[in-house]
Amino acid sequence: MSTLAETFMRGWGNKQRGRATVWTAVFALLLLNAGFIAVIQRRPAFRDPLYSSKEDVLAKQFIADVPGRVTVVAIGSSRTANAFHPPSVETVVTEATGKPCFAFNDAVLGRGPIFQLLHVRRLIARGIKPDVLVLEIVPSQFAAHGGKPSEIGHIRPDRLTWEEVEALAELGYSDAKYRDEWLESMLNPWFAFRFQLLGMIQPKWTPPEVIAETRKFPNKTGWQPYEERLTPEKHVKQLESAKSGHFENLNKMELGHAAVAALRETLALCKRERILAVVVLTAENSDFRSWYGPAALRAVEELIQISKHGADGRVIDARAWMPDAAFADGHHMYDLAAPSYTSRLTRELILPALRERSPR
């Protein structure tokens, strides 16, 4: 009898210890999740390291107190990252005005008009308000895919704060599913931010299509030059790759509501913050421009008119400015071409904006 009781007690004790182990694991997991979420909330840069690492480089230089200094910041996608050459801006502005100038290329790969709105909001929140903000227009990024912006793959909900998700909802960009995905990322942050964590440990381990790690920018101007020299054969392949990504958008163009709303709100936000926004349709080669169908040409005119209204006429169409040899793939500019392109942009768009600037 005693043996039976002892066996029962041992079994009961094992069950209790098993339950205690399970509950301990559950509570430990909840605490780890809560702690990780707290870290994410305190360090927003963890959400979007590719963006934040570049903004940090800008912020460290922007805060410098230089009397009379003119500040110019450009935002946009890889086109602007390759083509906008800050030293050329500084040279042209200083020669024309006699004032010191600080220019920075704050463009981020793959980001379009919707992200540009978030970009401006983030800069302002950090106290970065340049005298002139150069905004990029890539017409194909304004195309809608089944009602959704072409940019949607680059703005995953886990890269945003809840306030940013709500801001995009006002544009008609984020829906209930998008919000649910954001909440899921908070409930399971170890999975949602696995690539950011992996990138911190060993960036080479992340999948090739995932840009997760914080980038270091040895060039303090933010410029990301396209230095590779392509053979004629590789150039053809790169052009075909660009065509596969842009031709459909440009051949049968339908402007996306959210993208257009984002452009309007970005320009309005700049005006409210007394930032002089200037808008440029970035350079493309003749092959790329040949892909524009009638609907795309009409869309371009509409975007120009919206920009003229929102930026008080400060918009320029630079698509045909550069020779075909200036581009690696029809729309990404080689490093050697960037200074002449940027100097012209400064003379024809940035300097006129500075001349109309009123004291703050």
Across the 360 residues of the chain, what is the mean pLDDT of every consecutive 10-residue run?
59 64 66 64 68 88 85 96 97 96 93 92 94 96 70 73 85 80 80 69 60 61 91 90 87 87 96 96 96 93 96 96 95 96 98 76
Residue 108 CA from chain centroid, whole number: 4
On whether both 143 and 216 belong to a single domain, the answer is: yes
On whether both 348 and 231 belong to a single domain, the answer is: yes
Into how many domains does the chain fold?
2
Q: Which of 166, 143, 130 is nearest to 270 (CA)?
A: 130
Count other C-beta atoms under 10 Å from residue 165's C-beta.
18
> What confidence score (pLDDT) does residue 162 get?
84
On whether both 24 and 109 belong to a single domain, the answer is: no
Domain assignment of residue 173, yes or no:
no
On whether both 75 and 211 belong to a single domain, the answer is: yes
**pTM value?**
0.84
Domain assignment of residue 343, yes or no:
yes
Residue 245 CA from chain centroid, whole number: 18
On whether both 149 and 2 belong to a single domain, the answer is: no
On whether both 77 and 96 belong to a single domain, the answer is: yes
CA distance 242 to 143: 15
> What confidence score (pLDDT) does residue 252 get?
81
> What confidence score (pLDDT) does residue 68 get?
87
On whether both 213 and 141 belong to a single domain, the answer is: yes
Give the H/E segment covering residue 181: helix 176-187
On whether both 56 and 136 belong to a single domain, the answer is: yes
Q: Which of 139, 120, 138 is nearest to 130 (CA)?
A: 120
Which tokens go with 33? Answer: 């999740």
CA distance 133 to 151: 21
Which tokens go with 277? Answer: 């926004």
Residue showing tokens 């098993």: 18
DSSP letter assigned to residue 348: I
Domain assignment of residue 175, yes or no:
no
CATH number for the domain harbouring residue 267: 3.40.50.1110
Which tokens go with 338? Answer: 């960037």
On whether both 3 and 117 belong to a single domain, the answer is: no
> What confidence score (pLDDT) does residue 133 get?
98
State residue 106 phi and psi, 5-degree precision.
-105, 25
On whether both 122 and 270 belong to a single domain, the answer is: yes
State residue 275 phi and psi, 5-degree precision.
-105, 130
On whether both 31 and 97 belong to a single domain, the answer is: no
Residue showing tokens 């970005």: 266
Domain assignment of residue 182, yes or no:
no
Q: Give the structural domain span for 269.
A: 47-156+203-355
Domain assignment of residue 165, yes or no:
no
334: which strand partners?
226
Domain assignment of residue 166, yes or no:
no
Domain assignment of residue 97, yes or no:
yes
On whether both 285 and 303 belong to a single domain, the answer is: yes
Domain assignment of residue 244, yes or no:
yes
